[in-house]
Amino acid sequence: MNAEQIEISALLFLALVLFVWGRLRYDLVAVMALAGAVALGLVPAGDAFLGFGHPAVITVACVLIISSALLGGGLIDQIVRLLKPLRGRENLQLVSLCLCCAALSAFMNNVGALALMMPVALRFAYRDGYSPAKTLMPLAFGSLLGGMTTLIGTPPNIIVSAFRASRFESGYGMWDFAPVGLAVAVIGIGFIVLIGWRLLPLDRQGQGEKDKLFEIDEYLTEALVPENSKAVGASVHAIERVAGGDLTIVGVIRDQRKLLIPAGYDSLRQGDLALLEGSPEAIQTVLDEFKLELVGDVELSREDLKSSEVEVVEAVVTQGSPLIGRSTRNARLRTDHGLNLLALARHGKRFRQRLSSVRFQPGDVLMLQGRAEKLWETLADLSLLPLAEREIAMGRQRHLLLSAGMFAFAIALVVSGLLEAHIAFLLAVIGLTLARVIQPDQVYAAVEWPVIVLIAAMIPVGQALETTGVTALIADGLVGAAGNLPAWALLAVILVVTMFVSDIVNNNATAVLMAPLAIGVADRLGVNADAFLMAVAVGASCAFLTPIGHQSNTLVLEPGGYRFGDYWRMGLPLEVIICLVGVPAILIFWPL
């Protein structure tokens, strides 16, 4: 090996170590690798940022924007209505959720498809009384399997297509991945819904409490403010502070008028009926301190906390939410966002401890009270996914139709060969913006920039592997070590190695590193490179052994109450099945 080959090999080894370590975000690691390659002269300075204009990067960004437009148009609401008849039928719910998630993932980002379906899955689990662990990992795996089936289903497919185009002047078409991808996806999902979920440790997870999960009648009390009460003239905030943040005044009935979500500076008057929500201990503390009188024989429920202007909604905390790691007090939900936290569920169980001491985690389900005019916008700002069904306004129906129509038209342009994928989808984004389906500022918000930066930074580094000859050296070594093994055996090796790398390194980075190696091995064997590239595409999407291999796996870790070692239980047999199905399928549809 010459000096350049040693340098790029050492640089990539260091990058892989940092990817696996996980303490630095993957996009930062990719940028560091690119900067190192430029500093060492392995990537020309003028080519350092060409990756940001690469067709693969543009295509991924556009698909993310179009997916956001579909979400904003009410796609999730339509899915909820479609699956509503399955309530109470757990196994049918599992099958339907996995199939829907896989179908969505074929045309949008894997994580986006999972984020769309997670609220539906959690709603079913909590309402029908079974553990969310039964559906969330199968749902995440379904999103990965569905992404294998089309060019735009997952970024690794787009990356593999881009490497093919750089070597053979043309990439793959929209449906070129479908023959192998569909075979793997169908068999894989079949295993998940019939056998796979049974391998998960469901007995460890909390069971949902059916409709009682968020029933708050035992936490809701109506108290009268008598003439001699210390609460007369006291502010709402002052009264809540006495309970240490474990009690909320969610409403005040004054002169037969219900005033919900009173401001912290509002004061109580004689004769007011205060609606107190909190633990029995906190309620008793306030009753004793302020000499309030309980109103007997009054049954209260969550309906008493709603009005034409105020709604009560359940929402799940997603990855990336600004609430994560913050306590309910530090989050300032009421003062900064106008929300009252009424209850919290974690791993399928109502959280019984003091809410003021709770720190939010991904997957927590919150019961919130807020003003209807700003509630849904506030949930989006806090990255909270609502579990409630919403009525779809005519404007949103129009947006959904326009989004779906423009997306379908862009796909038709790609399939017909009239336009390249990145141009067709860029035109769709422009059309959606001009039609006001998605606002200009939402265009930028919809792009998952860490993924874009990762791909853009790693493309020049991956190309440096080829220009320095490292790819050829590895390919020669691999073919030499294989001896007299047939080409199909080396194809299986490439698939397994890609799977393993994808389990510990971001799948996009895996595709960037493995695609040129696959082409190199095919060249040494004198066989069809498409077969080996398809093995990379399938393997890069098979991150089933760990929660760190793919964002979809990470997203369900906390909501499902899983542990790191739970993923291989279902993931390992799934990867074995994919090898047994994938290799013959590749040999049939992309013969050597």
Q: Write out pLDDT tens, residues 56-113.
A: 889 888 988 888 787 767 666 677 677 777 777 888 889 999 999 999 899 887 877 8
Q: Is 352 helix (H, G, I), strand (E, B) or coil?
A: coil
- Per-residue pLDDT band at 397 (split at 50, 70, 90): low
The beta-carbon contacts of 33-36 under 8 Å, at least 24 apart in sequence, are: 33/457, 33/458, 33/461, 34/457, 34/458, 34/460, 34/461, 36/11
Q: How many CB atoms lie within 10 A of CB 461?
A: 25
- Across the chain, mean pLDDT equals 84
Instruction: For 356-368, give one letter per residue: b (16+ CB within 10 A) or e.
Output: bebebbbbbbbbb
Rounded distance between C-alpha atoms, residue 498 and residue 492, angstroms: 10
* Inter-axis angle of helices 529-540 and 567-589, nearest 10: 160
Residue 567: the pLDDT is 92
Q: Would you say the C-alpha torsion 114, 115, 118, 119 has a positive or negative sign?
A: negative
The number of angstroms, rounded, from the C-alpha of 177 to the middle of its chain's C-alpha atoms is: 23
Residue found under tokens 């905390």:
317
What digits encode the pLDDT tens for the residues 3-32?
A: 898 998 899 889 888 887 778 888 899 899
152 residue type, one letter: I
Question: What's the CA gap between 560 and 389, in Å, rounded?
Answer: 22
Identify which has the larger pLDDT, 495 or 436. Answer: 495
**Beta-strand relationship, 349-350 and 273-278:** unpaired
* Predicted local confidence at residue 215, as pLDDT: 61
Residue type, 242: V
From 173-177, 228-232, 305-309, the region with the lowest mean pLDDT: 305-309
* Rama region for 35: left / alpha / beta (φ>0; ψ in -120 to 50; rest): alpha
Q: What is the pLDDT, as a whole number, of residue 218? A: 59
pLDDT band of 210, cuts 50, 70, 90: very low
Residue with tokens 């974690």: 346
Asked whether the beta carbons of 134 and 91 are under 8 A apart, the reply is: no
How far is CA 79 from each of CA 113, 148, 402, rounded to the nearest angstrom?
12, 22, 17
Q: What pLDDT, on a 0 to 100 scale, did the predictor assign at position 297?
A: 53
Contact of 114 with 101, CB cutoff 8 Å:
yes
Residues 6 or more apart whose Cβ sits within 8 Å of residue 77 = 389, 390, 392
Sorted by where each starts, the structural domains of the chain and their CATH numbers stand as 217-300 (3.30.70.1450)
For residue 392, is pLDDT > 50? Answer: no
Return the bridge partners of 161, or none.
none
CA 78 centroid distance within chain = 19
DSSP 3-state of 479:
helix
CA 283, CA 397: separation in Å to the nearest integer?
Answer: 45
Which residue(s) pair with 367 in the sheet? Answer: 314, 343
Residue type (1 letter), 25: R
**Residue type at 503?**
D
Cα gap 34→43, rounded to integer Å: 8
Q: Please report where in the chains the tokens 């909190």 appear, as a residue.
A: 278
pLDDT value of position 496:
94
